[in-house]
Structure formats: C-alpha cells, structure tokens
Amino acid sequence: MEEIIFKNVESAFMKVRCKKCKNEQIVFSRPSSDVKCLVCSELLVKATGGKGEVLGEIIETYS
Ligand SMILES: [Zn+2]
C-alpha cells in the first residue's frame, strides 16, 4: 500500500526516482502518454488524461 502526497498540485514538472533502478528524471505531471524510466523502462507516470498517476518516488516538484 502506497500513499503519494502531492505537495503542490499546480506543479507542471517533477523529479521522480525510479523505484527499480533509482534513476532520477524530470517528468511532466500531466503526461499525454505513459512516462517510462529511461534506464530500465519501468513505468514512472501513468497517463490518465488529467494529472498523471505517479508510480515512482517524487523527489522534487517545480512550479
Ligand atoms: Zn529505472
């Protein structure tokens, strides 16, 4: 069971860490398609049509 808290829902970009390989990458918070880890292809953000569902670990958000 995971709980993901968005500190700033207005943030357009965020830094997310891949739970599998620990790679960190900047992702858009409302992606139009699924965002995968550039290193291991693990799904980081799932496209929902609105705010993406973040499956990785959010390190930082940018407004
Ligand atoms: Zn990865």
Q: Residue 6's pLDDT is what?
A: 54
Supply the pLDDT for residue 47: 96
Residue 57 pLDDT class (50, 70, 90 cuts): very high
Helix, strand, coil % (nearest 5) of the chain? 0, 40, 60
Q: What is the pLDDT of residue 1?
A: 59
Residue with tokens 């357009």: 12
Does 18 show up as a binding residue in the annotation?
Answer: yes
Domain count, the chain: 1
Ligand 1 centre distance from Cα of residue 22 (Å): 6
Task: Compute the distance from residue 24 Cα to the ligand 1 centre, in Å.
Answer: 8
The CATH number of residue 49's host domain is 2.20.25.100
Range of the domain at 20: 13-62
What's the pTM value of the predicted model, to 2 decimals? 0.79
* Tokens found for residue 44: 């980081």
Question: Any binding-site annotation on 40?
Answer: yes
In this predicted structure, what is the pLDDT of residue 37? 98
Distance from residue 56's CA to the centre of ligand 1 (Å): 9
Distance CA 11, CA 28 (A): 9
